[in-house]
Structure 1
Amino acid sequence: MKRAAVALAALAALSFPFWASEFWVATVVCRMLILGVLALSLTFLASFMGLVSFAQMAVAGSAAYTLALLSANTSGVGVEIGWPLAVLAAIALATFTGFVFGAISIKSSGIYLLMITLAISVCMFYFVSQNTAVFNGFDGINGIRAPTVGSTNLRAPTPFYFLCLAVAVALAGLVAYLESTPAGSLFHAYRNAPLRLNALGFNTVALRLLGFTLAGFIAGIGGVLNTWYNGQVSPSSIDVHAAVQLLVVAVIGGMKRPVGAFLGAMVYVLLENFAAELISRERFNLVIGITFMLIVSVSRDGLLGIVRDASQFFRKSLSRAPRVTLEKVTR
């Protein structure tokens, strides 16, 4: 059944642009995949190491601004060096930024980690918003377009959808594979008993820095896709609201598995696009807040926990059901 479900999901994902409308492809699902990649960087830290950071959107923002400054734009800032080098530089800087943020918060955990990463995010917000010479202040950098690779225009909805889908599947597969490796076991050991792991002779500081660096790599890729999707980057993309938004997405979906980030992104984007039909666009925060409270009150592991509990209940119901054999029928 699992293989059949995976095959059916893969078939639906690959054929989706050919039977769905452009609105669903370009506006809904692409946004869902990008937000899921960004939330995956937070889910990775939380599920592997038990660390929750408010700075992941700031890390993604470092990649976004780097890409914008090194690409052609309509704001007249930066210098164009070609999109391959710009993308590599953006991801590299985001990875390094994740390492730096991890080093700054190396001795904090729990609520203290939340507060120090929130402070880092606020500092970066004011840094880019008040710098008009390089980052163009509150207006941000506009007119950043996805490139054309050969004869394929990545600005078109269908190619951009497949790009987002390939990146999302690759990163989710990478995180899932890492969980089965010795490094994944060390990450889980750090989450469960960091002091015991340190007493056994493992370098927990290096392990924690590695976790933040990998999370920065994932966030950097999400930042590149998000910049191409929006066509611009501004301080609003890394402010406190964006940081809280990412945490809400991760918690709604479930922070114990990589797929939880994409489940949470699916719910968030659907509500974001259709909240006006439920109440109004101005009261979207009320809708997402009610949804958040309902899911958290039912399951501590978000939608993943609800799906898991429903699956277990269904299996138990099938196991308790009376079995009709051929002998009983003949009797």
Structure 2
Amino acid sequence: MKRSLYIAAAVTAISFPLWGNDFWVATVACRILVLGVMALSLTFLASLVGLVSFAQMGVAGVAGYAVALLSANTSGVGTEVSWPVAVLTAVTLATLAGLVVGAISIKSSEIYLLMITLAISVCMFYFASQNTAVFNGYDGINGVRAPVVAEVNLRAPLPFYYLCLVTATALAAMVAWLEKTPAGSLLHAYRNSPLRLNALGFNVVAIRLLAFTISGFIAGVGGVLNTWYNGQISPSAVDVHAAVLLLIVAVIGGMKRPAGAFLGALVYVLLENFASEFVSREHFNVVIGTAFMAIVLVSRDGLLGIVESSVGALRKTFYRRSQAAASVSKRQA
């Protein structure tokens, strides 16, 4: 049944532009996929290594600012280069930023890791907002657009949606594949007992840095997509609110599976777009906070945990009914 749910989700995602209008495709669906990719960098750390970082939006911001500075923009900053060079440079810098975050916080865990990565995120915000010569200060870099590739305009809603869908699927598949490899086994071992892993002779520092580096790569890809989606990047994309938002999305969806990042993004974006019909914008955080507490109180694994437990309950019910029917048929025979 779990496989059937994934197949249904894949069919829905692929066919969505056929029955969804431009608003749903360009504003809602693309936003879900972009936010889900960035949240995936956090769920990867939490599920495979057992670490939670507040610096993921800052790492994504490194890629976002890099691709903005290396692309044509209306703010008149940076230098325009070809889009492959811009994207490769942006993702590489974000990957290195993930490595740096891991190196800075190498000896911290739990609440201390949260505080150190939160401090890194705050430093990133002030560095971007106060540097007007390079990052254009609080105004940010505006007029950044996705490229035209082989006469396909990725700025159009439909091509950009499929770009986000293919990228999100590839990254989620990469995380799922990595979990089954020997490297994934080492990451799981670090999550379960780093001291025991160290006693066995493994380099736990290298394993942890590897995890932060991979999460930086995922966040960097999400940062590029986020900048193209918004058409700009500003310090608000890397501030504390953005860091907390990413954590909320990951926890709502569930941090033990890659799909949880996208499920949480789905719930958040739907509330973001339609909660205003019931409450004012000033009370939107109350709605998000209420939904967050309700989901966490019901399930420690977020919505994905609720779905999996419901599927398990249905499977047991069907099994019991089939067994009862089989016993009745034997008695009648």
Normalised to the residue count of structure 1, the TM-score between the two structures is 0.97
Q: CA deviation at 1:6?
A: 3.6
Q: CA deviation at 1:23?
A: 0.5
Aligned to 2:209: 209
Write out aligned runs for 1:126-165 (5 A): 126-165=126-165
2:59–2:94 contact (8 Å) kept in structure 1: yes
Q: List alignment gaps of at least 5 residues for structure 1.
A: none
Over residues 232-269 of structure 1, what are the superposed CA-to-partner deviations in whole Å (9 max), with x where a residue is unaligned? Answer: 00000000000000000000001001000001000000
Q: Secondary structure of the equivalent of 1:51?
A: coil
Q: Secondary structure of the equivalent of 2:144?
A: coil
| One-letter amino acid of the structure 1 residue matched with residue 139 of structure 2 | D
Q: Distance in 1 between matches of 2:303 and 2:16?
A: 23
Q: CA deviation at 1:229?
A: 0.1
Aligned to 1:268: 268
Aligned to 1:110: 110
Aligned to 2:64: 64
Q: Distance in 2 between matches of 1:92 and 1:198?
A: 29
Aligned to 1:48: 48
Over residues 195-246 of structure 1, what are the superposed CA-to-partner deviations in whole Å (9 max), with x where a residue is unaligned? Answer: 0000000000000000000000000000000000000000000000000000
Measured at CA, do residues 293 and 6 of structure 1 come closer, stay the same or move farther in structure 2, by a change above 3 Å?
Answer: closer
Aligned residues: 331
Aligned to 2:167: 167
Measured at CA, do residues 56 and 111 of structure 1 come closer, stay the same or move farther in structure 2, by a change above 3 Å?
Answer: same
Q: Distance in 2 between matches of 1:327 and 1:79?
A: 77
Measured at CA, do residues 50 and 330 of structure 1 come closer, stay the same or move farther in structure 2, by a change above 3 Å?
Answer: closer
Q: Distance in 1 between matches of 2:197 and 2:45?
A: 17
2:2–2:311 contact (8 Å) kept in structure 1: no
Over residues 118-142 of structure 1, what are the superposed CA-to-partner deviations in whole Å (9 max), with x where a residue is unaligned? Answer: 0000011001100101100000000
| One-letter amino acid of the structure 1 residue matched with residue 325 of structure 2 | R
Are 1:256 and 2:256 matched, yes or no?
yes
| One-letter amino acid of the structure 1 residue matched with residue 44 of structure 2 | F
Measured at CA, do residues 4 and 297 of structure 1 come closer, stay the same or move farther in structure 2, by a change above 3 Å?
Answer: closer
Write out aligned runs for 1:1-331 (5 A): 1-321=1-321, 322-323=324-325, 327=329
Q: Distance in 2 between matches of 1:7 and 1:190?
A: 32
Q: Secondary structure of the equivalent of 1:323?
A: helix
The answer to which of 137-146 and 11-20 deviates more is: 11-20
Q: Distance in 2 between matches of 1:143 and 1:327?
A: 70
Q: Distance in 2 between matches of 1:6 and 1:329?
A: 39
| One-letter amino acid of the structure 2 residue matched with residue 72 of structure 1 | A
Q: CA deviation at 1:24?
A: 0.4
Q: CA deviation at 1:330?
A: 6.8
2:102–2:213 contact (8 Å) kept in structure 1: yes
Q: Distance in 1 between matches of 2:199 and 2:237?
A: 41
Q: Distance in 1 between matches of 2:329 and 2:163?
A: 56
Percent sequence identity is 71
Q: Distance in 1 between matches of 2:201 and 2:317?
A: 47
Q: CA deviation at 1:82?
A: 1.3
| One-letter amino acid of the structure 2 residue matched with residue 227 of structure 1 | T
Q: Distance in 1 between matches of 2:265 and 2:9?
A: 17
Q: Secondary structure of the equivalent of 1:133?
A: helix
| One-letter amino acid of the structure 1 residue matched with residue 258 of structure 2 | P
Normalised to the residue count of structure 2, the TM-score between the two structures is 0.97
Q: Secondary structure of the equivalent of 1:78?
A: coil
Q: Distance in 1 between matches of 2:179 and 2:198?
A: 20
- Tell me the C-alpha RMSD between the 2 structures: 1.4
Over residues 294-319 of structure 1, what are the superposed CA-to-partner deviations in whole Å (9 max), with x where a residue is unaligned? Answer: 00000001011111211121122222
Q: CA deviation at 1:327?
A: 4.5
Q: Distance in 1 between matches of 2:46 and 2:78?
A: 35
| One-letter amino acid of the structure 2 residue matched with residue 247 of structure 1 | L
Q: CA deviation at 1:42?
A: 0.4
Q: List alignment gaps of at least 5 residues for structure 2.
A: none
2:252–2:295 contact (8 Å) kept in structure 1: yes
Q: CA deviation at 1:325?
A: 7.3
Q: Secondary structure of the equivalent of 2:79?
A: coil
Q: Distance in 1 between matches of 2:196 and 2:86?
A: 42
Over residues 48-97 of structure 1, what are the superposed CA-to-partner deviations in whole Å (9 max), with x where a residue is unaligned? Answer: 11100000000000000000111000000000011110000000000000
